[in-house]
A and B are shown apart, each in its own frame.
Chain A
Amino acid sequence: MKQLVRVFATIFIVAFGLMFLAARLNMTEGYSGNNTLTIYNWGDYIDPDLIKQFEKETGIKVIYQTFDSNEAMMTKISQGGTTFDVAVPSEYMISKMKEEHLLIPIDHSKLPNLKYIDPRFMDLSFDPNNKYSIPYFWGTVGIAYNSSMLGGKKITNWNDLWDKDLRNQILLVDGAREVMGMGLNSLHYSLNDTNEAHLQEAKKKLASLTPNVKAIIGDEIKILLANREAAVGVVWSGEAAEMISENKELNYVIPKEGSNLWFDNMVIPKTAKNIDGAHQFINFMLDPKHAAQNAEYIGYSTPNKKALDYLPKNIANDKRFYPDPETTKKLEVYENLGKSMLAHYNELFLEFKMHRK
Chain B
Amino acid sequence: MQSRTRNIYLIPYVLWIVLFVIAPIVLVVYYSFFDIEGHFTLLNYKKFFTPVYLRMTLSSFWYAFLITVFCLLLAYPTALLLTKTKHKQLWLLLIILPTWVNLLLKAYAFLGIFGAFGPANALLETLGIGQKQLLFTDFSFVFTSVYIFIPFMILPIFNSLEELSPSFVDAARDLGASPWTTFRRVIFPLTLDGVKSGCQAVFIPALSLFMLARLIAGNRVITLGTAIEEHFLVTQDWGMGSTIAVFLIIAMAIIMILTGSRR
Number of A residues whose C-beta is below 8 Å from B? 29
Let me know if B133 and A168 touch, CB within 8 A: yes
Let me know if B234 and A71 touch, CB within 8 A: yes
A176 proximal to B (CB < 8 A): yes
Report the tally of A-B residue pairs with Cβ distances under 8 A.
Answer: 74
Contact of B218 among A217, A350, A356 (CB under 8 A): A217
Asked whether A174 and B219 contact (CB < 8 A) given A71-B233, A343-B237, A347-B52, the answer is: yes
What's the Cα separation between A228 and B227 when bound, in Å? 30
CB neighbours of A220 from chain B (8 A):
111, 215
1/0 per residue, CB under 8 A from A, across B32-70: the answer is: 000011000000000000001001100100000000000
Contact of B214 among A168, A171, A218, A229 (CB under 8 A): A218
Asked whether A215 and B230 contact (CB < 8 A) given A168-B133, A340-B36, A342-B235, the answer is: no
A353 proximal to B (CB < 8 A): yes
Closest to A216 in B: B219
Let me know if B37 and A340 touch, CB within 8 A: yes
Let me know if A339 and B116 touch, CB within 8 A: no
Closest to B38 in A: A339
B185 proximal to A (CB < 8 A): no
Number of B residues whose C-beta is below 8 Å from A? 30
Let me know if B220 and A346 touch, CB within 8 A: no
A214 proximal to B (CB < 8 A): yes
B222 proximal to A (CB < 8 A): yes
Asked whether A354 and B116 contact (CB < 8 A) given A168-B133, A176-B234, A342-B235, the answer is: no
Let me know if A353 and B37 touch, CB within 8 A: no
Asked whether A215 and B219 contact (CB < 8 A) given A227-B117, A340-B36, A354-B56, the answer is: yes
Let me know if A350 and B136 touch, CB within 8 A: no
- Shortest Cβ gap from B204 to chain A (Å): 22
- Shortest Cβ gap from B133 to chain A (Å): 7
1/0 per residue, CB under 8 A from B, across A331-352: the answer is: 0000000011011001100110
Let me know if A346 and B234 touch, CB within 8 A: yes
CB neighbours of A69 from chain B (8 A):
233
CB neighbours of A171 from chain B (8 A):
218
Let me know if A351 and B52 touch, CB within 8 A: yes
What's the Cα separation between A168 and B116 when bound, in Å? 13
What's the Cα separation between A218 and B115 when bound, in Å? 16
B236 proximal to A (CB < 8 A): yes
- Shortest Cβ gap from A79 to chain B (Å): 14
Q: Which of A69, A227, A228, A347 has the most CB of B within 10 A?
A: A347
1/0 per residue, CB under 8 A from B, across A61-74: the answer is: 00000000101000
B135 proximal to A (CB < 8 A): yes
CB neighbours of B236 from chain A (8 A):
339
CB neighbours of A356 from chain B (8 A):
220
Let me know if A339 and B117 touch, CB within 8 A: no
Contact of B222 among A223, A340, A350 (CB under 8 A): A350
Let me know if A354 and B52 touch, CB within 8 A: yes
Asked whether A353 and B219 contact (CB < 8 A) given A220-B111, A227-B117, the answer is: yes
CB neighbours of A228 from chain B (8 A):
116-117
1/0 per residue, CB under 8 A from A, across B217-228: the answer is: 111101000110
What's the Cα separation between A218 and B234 when bound, in Å? 14
- Shortest Cβ gap from A270 to chain B (Å): 19
What's the Cα separation between A181 and B171 when bound, in Å? 71
CB neighbours of B235 from chain A (8 A):
339, 342-343, 346
Q: Which of B36, B135, B219, B227 has the most CB of A within 10 A?
A: B219
Which of chain B's residues 103-132 have a Cβ closer than 8 Å to chain A? 111, 115-117
Asked whether A354 and B222 contact (CB < 8 A) given A217-B214, A343-B36, A346-B234, the answer is: yes
Asked whether A214 and B136 contact (CB < 8 A) given A228-B117, A350-B52, the answer is: yes
CB neighbours of A217 from chain B (8 A):
214-215, 218-219
CB neighbours of A216 from chain B (8 A):
218-220
Asked whether A354 and B36 contact (CB < 8 A) given A215-B219, A228-B116, the answer is: no
Let me know if A354 and B214 touch, CB within 8 A: no
What's the Cα separation between A93 and B21 when bound, in Å? 33
Provide 25 A-B residue pairs closer than 8 Å at the C-beta atoms, listed in order of the A residue: A69-B233, A174-B219, A214-B136, A214-B218, A215-B136, A215-B217, A215-B219, A216-B218, A216-B219, A216-B220, A217-B218, A218-B214, A220-B111, A220-B215, A229-B116, A340-B36, A343-B235, A346-B235, A346-B237, A350-B52, A350-B230, A353-B219, A353-B220, A354-B55, A356-B220
Closest 4 pairs between A and B when the two form their complex, measured CB to CB? A215-B218, A216-B219, A215-B136, A343-B235
